[in-house]
Amino acid sequence: MSSPVPAATFKPSTQKRLLRALAGGSLDRPPIWLMRQAGRYLPEYRALREKAGSFLALCYAPDLAAEVTLQPVRRFGTDAAILFADILLVADALGQRLDFREGEGPVLEPVRGLDDLVRLGRRDPQTRLAPVYETVSRVRAALPGDCALIGFAGAPWTVATYMVEGGANGDHACAKRWAYGDPAGFQRLIDLLVETTFAYLDRQIAAGAEAVQIFDSWAGALSAEGIERWCVAPVAALVTRLRAAHPDVPVIVFPRGAGALYQGFAPATGAQGIGIDFTVPARWAADVLQKEATVQGNLDPQLLVVGGETMRRAAHQLLETLGHGPYIFNLGHGVVPETPPEHVADLVGLVRNWRA
Ligand code: CP3
């Protein structure tokens, strides 16, 4: 596969702080980036979103998507940029009807069984996704030298929940009943997602992504056995293929809500980084998870809305607990639209000035 950037820039010897943290190096201060650092809380995002007309149009317009990716890097000086796209583009590329409605979130035509699955059949999902790879190479070319570019995708289970439920549905009952009641059939959907998601991330890396994150946002909806079968196993299959194709590109997994099953998740999947949600005690993460992988997280996004001394105290506590080991400062879930951008500037400044 042709790559627009020289292979040498992918070496872990790079000076970029995020990549050094993911290689397990000890740093004077951890890198910081925030999940959903691009988005509606930024006026400059809202302006481009308006210009694009719809959220999907924005995702598939490389010039606008690249600009939106760069906005928080310029404004705050984060140590990483995350590609502006969405985990549901994979469902769209597979031919499922997808719409993002104002105030309602994603709406999809539900896939409730194998009949619906075979009816999807877009012949070449990669053609539909090509503009995303173009965004990656544009961002990579425009990034400051010390800022790393993160590509991403949803984990098979999390994307499957949206495909089956037809949107953001609280209890995931349809997806869970299919998974528990007809595991062989549900495995077909998961296998299709492993395949398509591998190709999606493989091409993001070829276009210039230097690390990738796999979002398993709904891991916590499953039973412990369900997490082993429908989160750990497919993510492990994905990471194995990614590591074989791109041994120098680190992978961060974010199995939100995995609880006690956070322990062992990174070793079982082969990931270099483990994203923790805000329910995970930082002390426990330092004692247990930092022995297994680079820990990323986990400030509660609502603390970023509150800001001030309350936020700063919580951020300091995280730095003191996790900042002396392999660590990436982040939130425990994405930035919410109500967040004042000045609070983000304050947080990034605090982390950048802290010393281990
Ligand atoms: O800055 C970044 O983090 C990069 C871009 C990014 C988006 N979505 C943009 C987005 C990333 C990494 C995602 C991941 C994503 N998308 C996840 C995993 C992380 C998580 O939140 O758990 C999930 C579950 C989705 C699916 C999704 N996309 C939902 C449920 C929604 C609606 C809810 C909402 O916040 O509006 C989206 C829409 C979406 N994705 C927006 C953005 C900026 C808002 C849409 C808009 O601008 O109108």
How far, in Å, CA of 280 to CA of 286, rounded? Answer: 10
For ligand 1, atom 9, name the residue with the nearest CA.
86
Q: What is the DSSP letter of 307?
A: -
For ligand 1, atom 35, name the residue with the nearest CA.
105
For ligand 1, atom 39, name the residue with the nearest CA.
86
For residue 170, what pLDDT is reported?
A: 84
Inform me whether the pLDDT recorded for 100 exceeds 90. Answer: yes
For residue 292, what pLDDT is reported?
A: 98
Write out the H or E segment, with its range, that includes residue 201: helix 183-207
In terms of Cβ atoms closer than 10 Å to its own Cβ (0-12, 13-18, 19+), residue 335 is: buried
Distance 291 CA to ligand 1 centre (A): 31
188 contact partners, CB below 8 Å, separation of at least 6: 114, 117
Quote the percentage of the chain above a pLDDT of 90: 91
Active-site residues: which are they? 36, 40, 49, 86, 162
- Asked if 133 and 190 touch (Cβ cutoff 8 Å), the reply is no
For CA atoms 57, 59, 65, 66, the dihedral sign is: negative
Residues in the chain: 356
Confidence (pTM): 0.95
Distance 106 CA to ligand 1 centre (A): 9
Strand partners, 330: 298
Q: Which atom of ligand 1 is nearest to the CA of 168?
A: 30
Does the Cβ of 87 fall within 6 Å of ligand 1? yes
Does the Cβ of 152 fall within 6 Å of ligand 1? yes
For CA atoms 312, 317, 319, 322, the dihedral sign is: negative
Does the Cβ of 155 fall within 6 Å of ligand 1? no
pLDDT in tens, 5-57: 444 444 444 589 999 999 998 799 999 999 999 999 999 999 999 999 999 99
Burial 127-161 (b: 16+ CB within 10 A, else e): ebbebbbbbbbbbbebbeeebbbbbbbbbbbbbbb
State mean pLDDT over 120-135: 91
For residue 15, what pLDDT is reported?
A: 85
Least-confidence region, from 62-76, 102-116, 220-234: 102-116
Distance 36 CA to ligand 1 centre (A): 7
For residue 14, what pLDDT is reported?
A: 58
* Cα–Cα–Cα angle for 237, 247, 60, rounded to 5 degrees: 70
Q: Quote the mean pLDDT of the chain.
A: 95
Amino acid identity, position 65: A
Quote the percentage of the chain above a pLDDT of 70: 96
pLDDT in tens, 242-254: 999 999 999 999 9
For ligand 1, atom 33, name the residue with the nearest CA.
105
